[in-house]
Amino acid sequence: MATFVLEIGSEELPSRFLPVEEAELAARFRAALDEAAVEHGEMRVMSTPRRAVVIIENVNPVQQEREEEISGPPVRAAYDAAGNPTKALEGFARTHGLTVADVYRIQTEKGEYVAVRKHTGGAAVRDLLAQICPAVITSLPFAKRMRWGAHTLAYARPLRWIVALLDEEVIPFSVGPVTSGRETCGHRIHGPGPFSIARAADYLTVVAEKCAITVDPAARREIIVKGGNELAQAAGGKVLWRDGLLEEVQGLVEHPVPLLGDFDPAYLEVPAEVLLTSMESHQKSFGIEGPDGKLMPHFLTVLNLTPQDMAVVKHGWERVLRARLEDARFFWHQDLREKLDTWLEKLEHVIFIARLGSMADKTRRLESLCRWLAETAAAGRVDAGDAARAGRLSKADLVSGMVGEFDTLQGIMGGIYAARKGENAVVAQALREQYLPAGPDSPLPSSLAGALLSLADKADTLAGCFGLGMIPTGAADPNGLRRCALGIIRIMLEFDLRLDVRELFARAQELYGDRQWKLGREEALDKLLEFFTARLRNYWQSHGEDTLLVDAALGAGLADVPSCAARLAALRDFSRTAGYAAAVQTFKRVSNILRKQAGDGALELVWEASLLREEPEKALAATLEELLPRLDALQEKGEHAAVLAALEEVRPAVDAFFDGVMVMAEEAALRKNRLAMLNALGSRFARLADFAALQI
């Protein structure tokens, strides 16, 4: 068995490209080797900014041999009446590199056919790899590609070298201007090379010792974390690691060297959020926290070399960060001198979305919508005045100097400034949390006022965009409407906001006033509710809920999200009981009958006892007289599991009714009376689930 190594050397790739490149290389090589019937062992894929590496152990140098039976045309088409081969048979044999003499007959379910046995495989794997490697390299997807010089090849960055070895043998191929070989390049300072690799098994040793490269991302991450923690502990603190930034930083270096820098403690007067943003976003550095939970005047950065004079390099990093922190401190003092009312006036000149007015217009709408939400969905749980004030101030920080410089701090700075300018803690906290959640896995607001402001903001955006016909199609969603809908769903579930979804969007729509819409109000609301329902369906599916149960729960209506979630949970538990299948079959029949008859006019909910003739219908009526009031009481309390349990209680009477009574009797009065009984029962369960959506 052999070892195979492929190294694709290039100019520095952006850090964000590396995880995609690694995943694609692994997937494409596995698929190509499986298709080519190449036996192999463990595959490792690694990358640095300047190289992507594939190492495959235990490669069989010879392709697997296979013998397969391939069927051809039916016998009647393969031979003429005289038994001579037809052109169809000759073509079939020729296609597989065989002669007519190699053809034999087989019996299949469809009749008698001709077939051949074809032997495949046995090729040298080095020849197969010479075809696979360039095909995989040129097919790698990148967010952006480029061409260089006069070459037609498009790649993420210009290619510089390719190593391709099967044990000691070079796998020969070319990709654009680069031909594969055994020479690699190392770190630009500590081991530029080139260095020749004698055998594939020597690759990692050569790269580590001669090239001074740590090629494994996990190893680079470990070096950074271990060294960073040691430096921070020596200074009496700990590193504020951010996983996303750590992943980015390890993808920026090939030779990681942690460095602890310092800054003037005077800058600590600026909020920690601002200091960390300066360090993380602009300098790709980490903050250091002291035992008291406060920032220390230090930062951790990661070099891509071991400098001859660490003090000189440290001074350079400190000088660059100092300029950033000085800007932050300037904006901090400047913003503190401004009044919130001044910022609100400036919002009149900041456009929200074209044709949806200014940001000042939006804050006035949010002021009203937040007050309404506090008085309806959260009555007694939050002060309506605080909620309204948060809505009015929600976008004020957009015109602050700090947010102009550090746009990722919008909302956060609004809360900080509000507290410093005399607003109460509820309002300040709501402003900080207004953009949460920012995605499917991001944190939710921790305060109810923040949740209401976030919900109002997202509902306002959805109502406005749908009114203008700006509805997401395919992958296009420039205004983040899917994210808005998901945020509303998560907030409603987390804070148990039992709010009619259509009423929420209608209220948000009304606050736009007499604006000229592209879609009519009712049409826009219908499309928005359809969109929101689809996002809710997707949300539950992504959390592992059964699609049929989700559709059944949503089919009963979407008055409010928490109630719908409770009905879904009851359905999920009910689906695991022994009587589930039989109950669904029975009530699907009830649902289907009612659905067919509803087209002829409204069905009654009350039946006449004097028209009950058969024993089964009398028994069902007696059961319903006792059961229906109980179902109404259970549904009023939201005890959905108990309602579903009643299905098993009433099912025998319903089954006996179907077996012993002609529901669609010729006599109109009897038919109407029997349908009324079914409708009285079916309408109760229709509030819980659409049984027609379930398949058993």
Judge whether residue 179 has pLDDT over 80: yes
For residue 134, the model assigns a pLDDT of: 94
Q: How far apart are CA 455 and CA 561, in angstroms?
A: 13
Q: How far apart are CA 123 and CA 118, in angstroms?
A: 15
Parallel, antiparallel or unpaired: strands 174-175 and 159-166: unpaired
Task: Give the 3-state secondary structure of 49-109.
Answer: CCEEEEEEEEECCECCCEEEEEEEEEHHHHECCCCCECHHHHHHHHHCCCCHHHCEEEEEC
Summarize the confidence of residues 203-212 as an average pLDDT: 94
Judge whether residue 601 has pLDDT over 70: no
**Residues 141 and 156 sit within 8 Å (Cβ to Cβ):** no
For residue 667, the model assigns a pLDDT of: 85
Query: pLDDT, tens digit, for every residue of 228-269?
Result: 999 999 999 999 999 999 999 999 999 999 999 999 999 999
Q: How far apart are CA 198 and CA 211, in angstroms?
A: 15
Query: pLDDT, tens digit, for every residue of 551-565?
Result: 999 988 888 899 999
- The residue ranking higher by pLDDT, 37 or 160, is 160
Token match 């031909």: residue? 179
587 band by pLDDT with thresholds 50, 70 and 90? confident
Share of the chain above pLDDT 90, in %: 63
Q: Do domains 2-62+124-209 and 571-693 have the same CATH topology?
A: no
> What's the CATH architecture for 571-693?
Orthogonal Bundle (1.10)
Q: How far is CA 449 from the centre of its chain?
A: 27
DSSP output for 244-289: HHHHHHHTT-SS-EEEEEE--GGGGGS-HHHHHHIIIIIH--EEEE
Residue 370: name the closest of 511, 501, 522 by CA.
Answer: 511
Judge whether residue 598 has pLDDT over 80: no
For residue 150, the model assigns a pLDDT of: 82
164 band by pLDDT with thresholds 50, 70 and 90? very high
For residue 98, the model assigns a pLDDT of: 82
For residue 429, the model assigns a pLDDT of: 97
For residue 600, the model assigns a pLDDT of: 58
Query: pLDDT, tens digit, for every residue of 630-658?
Result: 888 888 888 988 988 888 888 888 888 88
For residue 48, the model assigns a pLDDT of: 95
Cα atoms in the 13 Å half-sphere on the side-chain side of 421 = 22
Cα–Cα distances (Å) from 515 to 60, 119, 263, 467, 526, in that order, read: 71, 74, 53, 9, 18
Summarize the confidence of residues 554-582 as an average pLDDT: 89
- The residue ranking higher by pLDDT, 333 or 599, is 333
For residue 599, the model assigns a pLDDT of: 62
CATH number of 2-62+124-209: 3.30.70
Cα–Cα distances (Å) from 675 to 167, 349, 604, 622, 647, in that order, read: 80, 62, 7, 16, 18
**Residues 488 and 534 sit within 8 Å (Cβ to Cβ):** no
For residue 49, the model assigns a pLDDT of: 95
- Ordered by start, the domain boundaries in the chain are 2-62+124-209, 66-120, 217-337, 354-544, 571-693
Q: How far apart are CA 52 and CA 10, in angstroms?
A: 9
Q: Peptide bond preceding 73: is omega within 30 degrees of 0, i.e. cis? A: no
Where helices occur in 104-202 by DSSP H, the ranges are 125-139
For residue 676, the model assigns a pLDDT of: 87
- The residue ranking higher by pLDDT, 597 or 482, is 482
Judge whether residue 611 has pLDDT over 90: no
For residue 497, the model assigns a pLDDT of: 94
Query: pLDDT, tens digit, for every residue of 279-303?
Result: 998 899 999 999 999 999 999 999 9
Q: How far apart are CA 191 and CA 212, in angstroms?
A: 6
Judge whether residue 539 has pLDDT over 70: yes
Q: Which amino acid is at 143?
A: A
Summarize the confidence of residues 518-542 as an average pLDDT: 94
- The residue ranking higher by pLDDT, 77 or 351, is 351
For residue 256, the model assigns a pLDDT of: 96
Q: How far apart are CA 341 and CA 362, in angstroms?
A: 15
Cα–Cα distances (Å) from 405 to 58, 325, 330, 331, 681, in that order, read: 54, 12, 11, 8, 63
Residue 165: name the closest of 287, 309, 6 by CA.
Answer: 6
For residue 14, the model assigns a pLDDT of: 92
The pLDDT mean for the chain works out to 91
Judge whether residue 46 has pLDDT over 80: yes
